[in-house]
C-alpha cells in the first residue's frame, strides 16, 4: 500500500539536491538532506516505541529539524500533533492527557516541567531545540536511516491540530492524508506555485497556515522557502528581494507598511503576496497597493477545513473579501433561523463541504456531530455574506473568537482563569480594535461584594496560567456586567464600551 502524503510530498525528492529551506545563520537544507534526516528521526521514533497510528506531540521552536520531524511522522505513519510554543506546562498537560501521544518532543528548556506529565501518561520524552540540538537529533544521528515507508491510505490521520474550545475545552481537529493533500494540490494550482518559487516564511509551524498552507505547498511544488524563525521586519526587508511569494497574517502587512523601507523596488521580484488567518483591513490592502503596486491576495480557512476560499490569482482581488470557494470546496451561507440559504448581501453562517474538511474532533463524536449538517457541511461558525459578484465577505464570528496578531483566543478560556482570582465575582473578555495586533484582549472584572480587586496580583496569576498572547492587554472593573433578559452577558455592549482601549 502507498503512503498518500509521503508519496506526494517527499518521495519525488529522494535525490533532489535543490535547497528546500534557506536558513538564516545556518547551512541551507536540501530536499534530499531533509529526507535523510527524516529517515533517521523515523528510526528514532521506532526506537522510542512509537508505532503507526500513534500520536507524536511536538512543542518545539521553528527549525529545519522540526520539519524533518513532521516528515519522519509521515514516513513512520504517526500522527503529527504540533503544539503552540507559548503554551504553559499546565496547558500542555491537557493535550497530553487528551491525545495520549506515544512520544512528546519538547525544547530542552521545558524538559523538567514536562517530564512528569509525560511519565504520568506513559509517553516517551525527547528534546529538539531551536538550533537543531537535543536528544532526538543526537540519538537519531547514531541510527541507520529507516528504509521503510509505513503504508497510509487517504483516510488515515496525518495530523491532529488543537483549536481552543469556546467552552474552555480544546478540540483536536483530525486531519487525514486526503484532507491535507487535496487542499495542497488545489492551492498550488490556484496560486500557480511552481519550482521556481521562493516563499518567504515567517509563520509559526504549529498552526495550519505555516505548516500546511506554506510547507506542504512548497514541498509539492518543489519550491524553496526562506525559513525564518518568526516574523521580524528587518529580516523581511532583507529577504523580500530574493523571494517570489509571501504568506502572512495581516499583522505582517501592517508592520511592513509602517516601516519606511518598504518600496516598490524592494518587492519588484515578488509574484504573490497572500494574507489570511484574520481579516485584512481594506485600508491595509489599499495602502499596500499604492505603496508597492502589488495587490494582496486574501484567502480564508480554518484549522478544521484547511483553505476554503480565495481571491482569484487572475482577476480582481477585492479588498475586504475572501474571494470565492476554491475548486472542490462547496460553500453556502445559511440563515440559522430557518436553515435556508440567505440571499445576496445577506448575513448568515458559512458552511463548507469538500475533501479539505476534517474528519472530526478527536474523541468527541457528539461535538463533531453537532458541527456538521445532515448533508455533510461543516458549520464554520463564521458569519459571512456573498456580494452580487460572488465574492464572500467574512463579517464576524459566531463564537466571539478573538484574533490577536493572528492567534485565536477564546474569551471563555480567559474568563475561567479570571473568575478564580481573589476578589473577582465574574468576568467577561472581549476584543477591542488594536492597530498592531488587529484585536487586543480586554478583561472586564466585577468585584465580589465588599471586596476590591488587586489588578497587579491578577496579572501575575494570569501570567502563570495562560500563554502570553492570551493575557489581557487591558483590565477594567465594572459594578455589574450588562445582561439581556435571558441572563446572557451582552458582549456587544461591552465591545462598544471598550472600543477605544488601544488608541
Ligand atoms: P484557525 O483555525 O486558527 O485557522 O482560525 C480560523 C478562523 O480564522 C476562521 O474561522 C475565521 O474566523 C478566521 N479567519 C481566517 N482567515 C480569515 C480571513 N481571511 N478573514 C477573516 N477571518 C479569517
Choose among 297, 209, 193: nearest CA to 244: 193
CA atoms within 13 A on the CB side of 209: 23
Nearest CA owner, ligand 1 atom 4: 302
Instruction: Give the cell for residue 114.
Output: 514536562
Task: Tell which one of 382, 399, 438 to mutate to probe ligand 1, the residue whose CB is within 8 A of the most ligand atoms.
Answer: 382
How many C-beta atoms surround the C-beta of residue 114 within 10 A?
22
Distance CA 1, CA 66 (A): 27
How many C-beta atoms surround the C-beta of residue 138 within 10 A?
13
Look at the domain 191-295 and name its fold.
Rossmann fold (3.40.50)
How many C-beta atoms surround the C-beta of residue 149 within 10 A?
19
| Cross-strand partners of 396 | 383
Cα of 186 from ligand 1 centre, angstroms: 19
- Give residue 41's pLDDT: 98
Nearest CA owner, ligand 1 atom 15: 277
What is the residue-wise DSSP string for 148-208? Answer: ----B-TTSEEEEEEE--TTS--EEEEEEHHHHHHHHHHHHHHTT--TT-EEEE-S-SSSH
Cα of 231 from ligand 1 centre, angstroms: 19
Cα of 151 from ligand 1 centre, angstroms: 33
Place of cell 463579517: 395
Nearest CA owner, ligand 1 atom 10: 302
Cα of 461 from ligand 1 centre, angstroms: 30
Choosing among 1.20.20.10, 3.30.300.30, 3.40.47.10, 3.50.50.60, the CATH entry for 401-497 is 3.30.300.30
Task: Tell which one of 160, 296, 300 to mutate to probe ligand 1, the residue whose CB is within 8 A of the most ligand atoms.
Answer: 300
The distance from CA 242 to its chain's CA centroid, rounded to whole angstroms, is 26
Distance CA 67, CA 16 (A): 17
Cα of 377 from ligand 1 centre, angstroms: 17
Q: Which stretches in the chain have pLDDT values below 50?
A: 165-167, 485-487
Cα of 300 from ligand 1 centre, angstroms: 6
Cα of 277 from ligand 1 centre, angstroms: 4
Choose among 69, 87, 66, 86: nearest CA to 78: 69
State the span(s) of the chain assigned CATH 3.40.50.12780. Answer: 4-153
State the span(s) of the chain assigned CATH 3.30.300.30. Answer: 401-497
- Give residue 166's pLDDT: 41
Q: Are strands 297-302 and 272-275 parallel, antiparallel or unpaired?
A: parallel
Q: Can you identify the CATH homologous superfamily of domain 4-153?
A: ANL, N-terminal domain (3.40.50.12780)
Q: Are strands 378-386 and 348-354 parallel, antiparallel or unpaired?
A: antiparallel
How many C-beta atoms surround the C-beta of residue 412 within 10 A?
16
Cα of 399 from ligand 1 centre, angstroms: 12
- Give residue 170's pLDDT: 82
Q: Which ligand 1 atom is nearest residue 163's CA? A: 2
Q: Which ligand 1 atom is nearest residue 381's CA? A: 10
Cα of 234 from ligand 1 centre, angstroms: 27
Distance CA 359, CA 401 (A): 22
Nearest CA owner, ligand 1 atom 16: 277
Measured in degrees and rounded to the nearest 5, phi and psi for residue 246 equal: -140, 140
Distance CA 282, CA 297 (A): 12
Q: Is the CB of 75 under 6 A from ligand 1?
A: no
Q: Is the CB of 303 under 6 A from ligand 1?
A: yes
Q: What pTM was computed for the model?
A: 0.86
Q: Which ligand 1 atom is nearest residue 303's CA? A: 2
Task: Tell which one of 159, 251, 394, 400 to mutate to probe ligand 1, the residue whose CB is within 8 A of the most ligand atoms.
Answer: 394
Q: Which ligand 1 atom is nearest residue 207's CA? A: 3
Distance CA 62, CA 44 (A): 20
Question: Is the Cβ–Cβ distance between 84 and 210 less than 8 Å?
Answer: no
CA distance readout (Å), 43 to 105, 203, 239: 15, 29, 35
Cα of 479 from ligand 1 centre, angstroms: 34
State the span(s) of the chain assigned CATH 3.40.50.980. Answer: 191-295
CA distance readout (Å), 223 to 212, 231, 235, 289: 14, 20, 20, 26
Q: Is the CB of 170 under 6 A from ligand 1?
A: no
Torsion (CA) 283, 189, 391, 254 in degrees, nearest 10: -10
Q: Is the CB of 253 under 6 A from ligand 1?
A: no
Instruction: Give the CA diameter of the chain.
Output: 72
Instruction: Give the cell for residue 265.
Output: 523596488
Enclosing H/E stretch for 475: strand 474-478
Cα of 358 from ligand 1 centre, angstroms: 15
Instruction: Give the cell for residue 491.
Output: 458582549
Distance CA 489, CA 482 (A): 6
- Give residue 287's pLDDT: 94
Distance CA 69, CA 222 (A): 19
Choose among 440, 409, 441, 411: nearest CA to 426: 411
Instruction: Give the cell for residue 87.
Output: 503554551
Distance CA 267, CA 293 (A): 9
Give the 3-state secondary structure percentages of the chain, helix then strand then coil, rounded to 5.
Answer: 35, 25, 40
Residues 6+ apart with CB under 8 A from 410: 164, 165, 166, 168, 399, 400, 401, 402
Amino acid at each position: 500500500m502507498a503512503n498518500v502524503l509521503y508519496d506526494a510530498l517527499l518521495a519525488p525528492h529522494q535525490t533532489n539536491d535543490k535547497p528546500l529551506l534557506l536558513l538564516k545563520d545556518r547551512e541551507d537544507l536540501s530536499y534530499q538532506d531533509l529526507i535523510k534526516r527524516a529517515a533517521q528521526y523515523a528510526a528514532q521514533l521506532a526506537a522510542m516505541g512509537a508505532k503507526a497510528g500513534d500520536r507524536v506531540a511536538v512543542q518545539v521552536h521553528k527549525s529545519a529539524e522540526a520539519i524533518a520531524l513532521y516528515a519522519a511522522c509521515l514516513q513512520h505513519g504517526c500522527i503529527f500533533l504540533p503544539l503552540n510554543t507559548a503554551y504553559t506546562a499546565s496547558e500542555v498537560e491537557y493535550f497530553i492527557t487528551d491525545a495520549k501521544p506515544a512520544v512528546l518532543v519538547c525544547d530542552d528548556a521545558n524538559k523538567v516541567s514536562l517530564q512528569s506529565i509525560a511519565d504520568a501518561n506513559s509517553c516517551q520524552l525527547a528534546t529538539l531545540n531551536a538550533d537543531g540540538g537535543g536528544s532526538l537529533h543526537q540519538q537519531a544521528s547514531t541510527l541507520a536511516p529507516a528504509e521503510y515507508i509505513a503504508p497510509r491510505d487517504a483516510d488515515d490521520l496525518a495530523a491532529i491540530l488543537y483549536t481552543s474550545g469556546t467552552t474552555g475545552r480544546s478540540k483536536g481537529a483530525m486531519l487525514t492524508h486526503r484532507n491535507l493533500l487535496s487542499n495542497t494540490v488545489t492551492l498550488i494550482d490556484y496560486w500557480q506555485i511552481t519550482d521556481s518559487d521562493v516563499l518567504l516564511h515567517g509563520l509559526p509551524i504549529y498552526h495550519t497556515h505555516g505548516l500546511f498552507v506554506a510547507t506542504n505547498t512548497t514541498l509539492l511544488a518543489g519550491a524553496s522557502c526562506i525559513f525564518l524563525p518568526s516574523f521580524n521586519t528587518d529580516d523581511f526587508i532583507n529577504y523580500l528581494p530574493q523571494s517570489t511569494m509571501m504568506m502572512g497574517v495581516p499583522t505582517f502587512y501592517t508592520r511592513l507598511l509602517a516601516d519606511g523601507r518598504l518600496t516598490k523596488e524592494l518587492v519588484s521580484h515578488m509574484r504573490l503576496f497572500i494574507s489570511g488567518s484574520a481579516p485584512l483591513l481594506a485600508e491595509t490592502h489599499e495602502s499596500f497597493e499604492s505603496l508597492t503596486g502589488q495587490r494582496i491576495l486574501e484567502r480564508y480557512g480554518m484549522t478544521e477545513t484547511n483553505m476554503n476560499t480565495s481571491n482569484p490569482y487572475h482577476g480582481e482581488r477585492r479588498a475586504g473579501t475572501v474571494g470565492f470557494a476554491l475548486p472542490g470546496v462547496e460553500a453556502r451561507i445559511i440563515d440559522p433561523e430557518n436553515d435556508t440559504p440567505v440571499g445576496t448581501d445577506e448575513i448568515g453562517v458559512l458552511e463548507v463541504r469538500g475533501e479539505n474538511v476534517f474528519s472530526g474532533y478527536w474523541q468527541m463524536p457528539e461535538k463533531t456531530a453537532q458541527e456538521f449538517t445532515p448533508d455533510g457541511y461543516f458549520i464554520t461558525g463564521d458569519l459571512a455574506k456573498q456580494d452580487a459578484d460572488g465574492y464572500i465577505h467574512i463579517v464576524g464570528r459566531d463564537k466571539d473568537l478573538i484574533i490577536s496578531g493572528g492567534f485565536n483566543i477564546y474569551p471563555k478560556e480567559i474568563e475561567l482563569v479570571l473568575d478564580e482570582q481573589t476578589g473577582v465575582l465574574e468576568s467577561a473578555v472581549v476584543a477591542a480594535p488594536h492597530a498592531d495586533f488587529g484585536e487586543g484582549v480586554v478583561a472586564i472584572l466585577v468585584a465580589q461584594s465588599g471586596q476590591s480587586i488587586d489588578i497587579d496580583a491578577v496579572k501575575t496569576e494570569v501570567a502563570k496560567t495562560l500563554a502570553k498572547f492570551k493575557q489581557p492587554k487591558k483590565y477594567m472593573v465594572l459594578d455589574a456586567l450588562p445582561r439581556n433578559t435571558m441572563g446572557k452577558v451582552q458582549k456587544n455592549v461591552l465591545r462598544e464600551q471598550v472600543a477605544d482601549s488601544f488608541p
